[in-house]
Amino acid sequence: MIKDNFFKITDLNQVVIIGWCPNISKILNINSKLKIKTLIVTSPSQKKFFDKKIKINVFKNLDKNFENFIDRNCEIKKTLFLSISSMFVFKKKQIKFLDNNLINYFPSRLPYDTGRGGFSWHIMREDRILNNNFHIIDEGINTGPIIFEESKIFPSNCKIPIDYENYKWEEMNLFYETFIKKIITKKNFLLCKQNINLGRHNPSLNTLQNGFINWDMNSYDLFNFINAFDDPFIGASTFLNRPGFGKLFIKKIHLHGGDTGNHPYFSGIVSRKHKNWISVSTTGKHMILVEQVLNSKGRNVIDKIFPGDRFYTPLKYIEKSKTKNTIYKA
């Protein structure tokens, strides 16, 4: 509950997870160790991510059926309702029903990094800070007061989205356990209001929609852009100036500065071919070393690409990637 600008739960005995996270088993173990019951509520689009051994409760929306379920299974005043990667948008009615015991986990700095673009935006702008936080859920999206947070630097071996994600969830386990233990000891959490005027919205990204490579980018921006759509995604996309390839997806790249500079017109040209990679020129003094060029069937066709070939992306694809919004449904 919220009282006198503080958040607290007296005699916490249950946590209701709303959404999904890959470390859900770790959270269940933490709660069990602390003798706290756990319920999981999720949406139809997220139920496929759960191990079949984990009991979940699926709702299309947070309607009267959800409220009846909570009334039957929870003592609301002694329950923490925690949204993690939830597809639900909470309305004033639900917030009030849950007695303001509803918080959200967000892994970035608020209000500077709102939105659902994930770590792809971090990689593009070379943001190396992980900021785990729990904030109160209000009627906005990630706009409620922050009650607990912790910042870490991503290790140097974090390069592509899957690296960032794995590190985030690893750190989240300890972050969550620390927070729950503080609630158990009856700690009051000061509400730290966000200055929304400083906010920046990072829209959702879809690799097939937004991942087209603009070879006119400088070396660093090109490197970061391609990495931003690497695993767990299919890869940043482009084309080759020879027929028979179709759309190609580039992954597993390295920035190489051991050669002389290029004229910008060189960008995209395959300069050298090695046994396991190719060297591709950029607009600047660097090249990118590419280990994977995948076709639409996921096969690496790097053995069929030769010096003098050129990667290019027609302008219409780049323009289209900037005009379509990605919308995910519960």
3-state helix, strand, coil in the chain (%, to 5): 30, 25, 45
Calpha distance 1→8 (Å, rounded): 6
pLDDT, residue 31, reads 97
Calpha distance 197→199 (Å, rounded): 6
Q: How far is CA 258 from CA 183, 262, 282, 286, 289, in A?
A: 54, 12, 13, 7, 11
Q: What is the CATH number of domain 207-321?
A: 3.10.25.10
pLDDT, residue 199, reads 82
What are 163-204's pLDDT values in tens digits? 999 999 999 999 999 999 999 999 999 999 999 888 888 888
pLDDT, residue 217, reads 96
pLDDT of 90 higher than 80: yes
- Does the 2-202 domain belong in CATH 3.40.50.2300? no
- Taking the alpha carbons at both ends of the chain, their separation in whole angstroms is 27
Q: How far is CA 14 from CA 42, 74, 151, 174, 183, in A?
A: 17, 8, 27, 18, 11
pLDDT of 330 higher than 60: no
Tokens representing residue 45 in the block: 């689009």
Q: What is the mean pLDDT of residues 269-290?
A: 94
pLDDT, residue 326, reads 66
**Which residues, other chains included, contact 120 with Cβ-Cβ below 8 Å and sequence gap of 6+?**
161, 205, 228, 229, 233
pLDDT, residue 198, reads 84
Res. 329 pLDDT band, cuts 50 70 90: low
Each domain of the chain, given as residue ranges in start order, spans 2-202, 207-321
| Proportion of the chain above pLDDT 90, given as a percent | 86
What are 108-148's pLDDT values in tens digits? 999 888 887 789 999 999 999 999 999 999 988 889 999 99
Q: Read out DSSP for 204-248?
A: ---HHHH-B--TTS-HHHHHHHHHHT-TTS--EEEEESSTT--SE
